[in-house]
A and B are shown apart, each in its own frame.
Chain A
Amino acid sequence: MIAFLIKRTLQAMVVMFVISLISFSIQDNLGDPLRELVGVSVSEVEREKLRDDLGLNDPFLVQYGRFAANALHGDLGTSYFFKEPALDVILKKLPATLELVFGATLIIVVLSVPLGVYSAIKPGSLLSRLVMGLSIVGISIPVFLTAIGLIYLFSIELGWMPSYGRGETSAMLGWDSGLFTADGLHHLILPSFTLASIMLPLFIRLIRAEMMEVLQSEYVKFAWAKGISPWRIYFVHALKNTMLPVITVGGVQIGTMVAYTILTETVFQWPGMGFLFLEAVNRVDTPLIVAYLIVVGAIFVVTNTLVDLIYGLVNPTVKLAGGK
């Protein structure tokens, strides 16, 4: 276990290094940050002077060396737009994104398991067909459109939901979050459903397919023969084995989820990391872009490690790499 974690940490460091190198080397192709810092009528001479001040005219290796030295001290640079350390800016936006991911995950878990299981047990029923049909629709509509559609229906036509933003937040346990206020939760509903809409159909279908396969297996047939209650067969014996691939896919999908928060947050003006990133790209705020990529890289590594650990718990036959 410890050997596994050490190995993972080392891997993570290599990953971080590669990410920082890549993101640092692409920054020249993103555009000219000076253009976003000054007005259009500022002369080229002035801009060149500023570029010198910012050290943007130094050779790549000098710039990267400076960045790496600072990064080792926990300083990932200062955002051009926010004028604050990039890492602070991102961490400040992290709770909003986590709220969104949490909301969407909750919806996915609460809905996908019962719906997936049901449509596996009763594949011919009307509800199952409806769920399957809707999941096709859900998976094929772009997040952007889903969001606009939901806003149009629930905010403009019905007036039930707020159309944008995060709502009020309040601090609890040192965490300033919208999860603790009614207004915050109210604002969370539409974005969470939007974010969930892309992943939910996938999980319903995955659980359904796995469940159907498991229900055909010998041990389930044996359980039936033994006279165990259907409830226990479905939700204890069958579901447990169904969840193995679901966890693997889920772990990978968390990364996709982060990608989709960018779109969801942009449409809903949700002040999270994803929105921040897109803005940073538009503004060529290179320190912020680099810091974001590194933070997201870290999130990937951590979640994948966690998934591997959980996998080991659910399925004891799987040995952790490096474990004894």
Chain B
Amino acid sequence: MKKTTTLLASAVLSLGLMGTVQAQTLKMAYDSDPVSMDPYEQLSGATLQLSHLTFDPLVRWDQNFNFEPRLAEKWERIDALTMRFHLRKGVKFHSGNEFTAKDVVFSFNRLSKSADFKGIFAPFKEVKIVDEYTVDLVSNEPFPLVLNNMTYLFPMDSKFYSGTDEAGKPKDAMVKHGNSFASRHISGTGPYTVTYREQGVKMEFARNADYWDKKSPGNVDKIVLTPIKEGPTRVAALLSGDVDFIAPVPPTDHKRIDKSDKVDLVTMGGTRIITFQLNQERVEAFKDARVRLAINYAINQKGIVKKIMKGFATPAAQFSPKGYLGHNDALQPRYNIKKAKQLMKEAGYENGFTVTMMAPNNRYVNDAKIAQAAASMLAKINIKVDLKTMPKAQYWPEFDKRSADLMLIGWHSDTEDSNNFYEFLSTCPNKDTGAGQYNSGNYCNPAVDKQVAQANTETNPAKRAAIMQGIEKTIFEEGGVVPLHWQNQAWAAGKNVKIAPVVNVMDFPYLGDLVITK
């Protein structure tokens, strides 16, 4: 009797083992985990990463900045203001509810109320239901970035999120501080469902068996996401085989990972610009374009990238990275100390002056070191810099107060479009309209502002590109800001984990399509 049980047990066990040969588990470590399971609560990297795992957008970016149809199968422009989306049929939410046009309207309305996302959806007036699987998206004015912004529309399950929870609160409530139904419960259409969540410690996902995308090559059945805050620990976890996939990878460890025969490093040119702003309101000299240009000539972007960033960045002389419509290839870093000194002399500041500089020390890759390097470069043209660096939590209030003459800021365009840079970083600041919210330099050129407004309604891509490249050129020639570089992106994974096709510069890997080979 005992023997039969043992036999039976081992048979069951081996069956179980056979099962696990096919099923692949991905153990991964990011530097953070989402603050909430509500995809509309916070516009942050961690939330978008979660959204792409558990939800699907109407359309999404591919690696070449093209749009891939997801829940919208196809789309067409009806008139200058209206874009018609044909939705995918036969898609089910995790709850079992069918995905229809109603969910898109529900989601659009909810997004328009979200403090974080309303900016992205502000250009649109409404979503109209044409039939169960067709919607019309109407914008307030002709709007060129309809599809860009639709990458943020992750339809939520309207039936699941309607009504009230046990506490009697509406299930679709968005609560920044405190509990809400949507922050603890999730029902999307995405490739994974959440099976376990201990905030800040671990999150587990299981493959959605009914996932609509049958063509997806993805073969990962289970994902275990552990946030590991410390870069060296994250790298150690990968090298020791405790996890299979990590991001981000600290630049100092690239060589070590590249050399290892167990893991692969995947890097990509990033789209986040790191730049200094010169405050013209605080410093009289910065009102003089020659002084601003002198600073631009004095900063050695290539040197910073090579020495401090270890090559893990692309030197920049404008906001728009390659691939963006506004990228102007003619604008290159112009390090030239002689020219800088000459400009300072022309402006009457040969003997220089003293300025203050502030930079965060835990926000961007090597931010404090970059600021130190820039300060010593400016010393060469007799500009003495008092540098103060601080953690980001303290930096942003200082930034809002414009507390220093030079301030460092990194910016990623939420729309993956150049105009977003200008709107936030270089249009004339206006407290009432909120324009130029992050323009701590008060650089202001009404002609540029006009072009920005023009680009916002120009739907012809070629004309838009011309306008925006012109804006870049003007800012470059006037030395409006001091661009440094675009931060690159890096991911690392075990050799059998094929991350290269699923990662992207926005850093929300499409893990639904991830393949792990044996």
Which residues of A does B touch, CB under 8 Å? Answer: 29-32, 35-46, 49-50, 53-54, 78, 80-84, 148, 151-152, 155-156, 159, 162-166, 266-269, 271, 275-276, 279, 281-284
Contacts and interface: CB of A to CB of B under 8 A. Distances in A.
B176 A50 contact: yes
A50 B393 CA distance: 17
A38 B115 contact: yes
A269 B229 contact: yes
A53 B176 CA distance: 10
Given A41-B414, A54-B177, A164 B393 contact: no
Interface in B330-389: 362
Contact of A78 (B177, B241, B414): B177
B407 to A, nearest CB: 14
A271 B201 contact: yes
Interface string B217-241: 0000000001111101100110111
A279 B43 CA distance: 19
Contacts of B44: 39
B237 A44 contact: no
A38 B44 CA distance: 8
Given A151-B236, A156-B239, A37 B200 contact: no
B501 interface: no
Interface in B169-198: 175-180, 183, 198
A30 B394 contact: yes
Interface of B: 29, 35-36, 42-44, 115-116, 118-119, 175-180, 183, 198-201, 226-230, 232-233, 236-237, 239-242, 362, 391-397, 400, 414, 424, 434, 437-438
Most-contacted residue by chain A among B36, B183, B239, B240 (CB, 10 A): B240
A271 B176 contact: no
B42 A38 contact: yes
A266 B230 contact: yes
Contact of A31 (B176, B232, B237, B394): B394
A26 to B, nearest CB: 12
Contact of A82 (B199, B240, B391, B395): B199
A37 B414 contact: no
B397 A164 contact: no
A155 B240 CA distance: 6
B236 A156 contact: yes
30 contacts: A30-B393, A31-B392, A31-B396, A31-B397, A35-B393, A35-B396, A36-B393, A37-B42, A38-B42, A38-B116, A40-B43, A41-B437, A42-B116, A53-B177, A82-B199, A159-B240, A163-B236, A163-B240, A163-B242, A164-B237, A164-B242, A166-B201, A266-B230, A269-B226, A269-B228, A271-B198, A271-B201, A281-B393, A282-B362, A282-B393
